[in-house]
Structure 1
Amino acid sequence: MSHSASSSLPVPDATRPATPISLPAIRAGDPDALAACYRSHAPALMALALRLTASREDAEDIVHDVFVGLPEALARYDERGQFGAWIGRVTTRVALMRQRQVRQRGDVSLVDITEPATSTPDGDPVLREKVLQALATLTPPLRHVFVLRVIEGYSHAEIASLLEISTNTSEVRLHRAVQQLRRVLEAYV
């Protein structure tokens, strides 16, 4: 899979003043509006995609796909609720669809977690890396439920709908994920 397309996305620049996000302008295809949206939301979406996939390359592709399709996707956004939560759900769906496609093709994804994008309460980068490594040891079904429930705050009913599983299956997967994470993290301590 070529990743040169991801280089076409604007790079977040902390030296630029924040530009307000204009959804009508993004819908109309305004590149400046899309760039402002990217600068505002890409870091959080990248962290979400990285947690769901445990692969930096896959996460970059997912965020790229979200922003490439954003003008079209906004046609279905009714502007109820917060835009950040909506684009997070879009990113989650894109990540889940991509992982389903990978499983159907039988591709093997290499875990690349050299640059953690998540934070820990105490900000310890070593602990942050160990948590990401522990998440990467989970199978995708367990990791998806864990990330969506514990990190993103989705309810089991929402997770069941997103993953097309039962609420009970979501609860069981969360329980198994927590057990496995405890075992893996106890080895680090």
Structure 2
Amino acid sequence: MLRLSPSVPAEDELVRDVRGGSLNALGTLYQRHSPAVFGAAYRILGTRPDAEDVVQDVFVGLPRALAGYQERGRLEAWLRRVAVRTALMRLRGRARRREDAFDDLPELASPDGESALDRLALQRRLRLLPEKLRIVLVLKEIEGYSHDEIGALLGVSAGTSAVRLFRAWKHLRSGAAS
């Protein structure tokens, strides 16, 4: 395998080392991938403390979880899927406790040229979406999951996911008109 430099370990080496119990390798993976894990969790949960808890849960459990990692595709994509599943479990627990789904607004990456006011308006409309619609919108449009993948994550059919996405966009557009 070709490596760029001796100081930059390859992902497969880091995975092997974490499986072997290396905390240094775990720290390196954390530095590389915690921003992506945090972003996925934050867009689902909407609060910084909850997203930070998901990051901690993902990386504390990573040595054990890597036993099921088959090294197909990118590690970051796999970690983001783990983060989404962890965030969804946290949401389900929150719903059982009847907590509010959003304590603050989610931060969304914005396309170039979009004003802060436009982003704030979109964030407010997203916050007002019913949870089921918001989750599908985030998973499909921001995280890039297919309807089949969303259905598997949420325990619904791909058709239900597509309907929820349609309703989310309809809700957002109707809010834009008012």
In structure 1, which of residues 68, 73, 80 is the aligned counterpart of residue 60 of structure 2? 68
Q: Partner residue of 2:4? A: none
Q: Shift of the alpha carbon at 1:125?
A: 6.4
Can you give the 5+ residue segments of structure 2 that lack an aligned partner in the other structure?
1-6
Does the CA contact (< 8 Å) of 1:111 and 1:136 recur in 2?
no
In structure 2, which of residues 70, 74, 83 is the aligned counterpart of residue 82 of structure 1? 74
Task: Give the number of aligned pairs.
Answer: 169
Name the TM-score, length of structure 2 as normaliser. Answer: 0.84
Does the CA contact (< 8 Å) of 2:150 and 2:158 recur in 1?
yes
Name the TM-score, length of structure 1 as normaliser. Answer: 0.80
Instruction: Find the aligned partners of 1:134 and 1:140 in 2 and give their Cα distance.
Output: 12
Can you give the 5+ residue segments of structure 1 that lack an aligned partner in the other structure?
1-16
Does the CA contact (< 8 Å) of 1:52 and 1:144 recur in 2?
yes
Task: Show the 5 A alignment for 1:8-157.
Answer: 20-21=10-11, 22-113=14-105, 116=107, 118-122=108-112, 124=114, 126=116, 127-157=118-148
In structure 2, which of residues 139, 148, 166 is the aligned counterpart of residue 175 of structure 1? 166
Percent identical residues: 43
Instruction: Find the aligned partners of 1:46 and 1:185 in 2 and give their Cα distance.
Output: 29
In structure 1, which of residues 148, 166, 179 is the aligned counterpart of residue 157 of structure 2? 166
Amino acid at match of 2:94: V
Q: Shift of the alpha carbon at 1:41?
A: 1.1
Query: 1:78 is paired with a residue of what secondary structure?
Result: coil
Q: Partner residue of 1:11? A: none
Q: Shift of the alpha carbon at 1:124?
A: 4.5
Larger Rg: 2
Q: Shift of the alpha carbon at 1:159?
A: 0.7
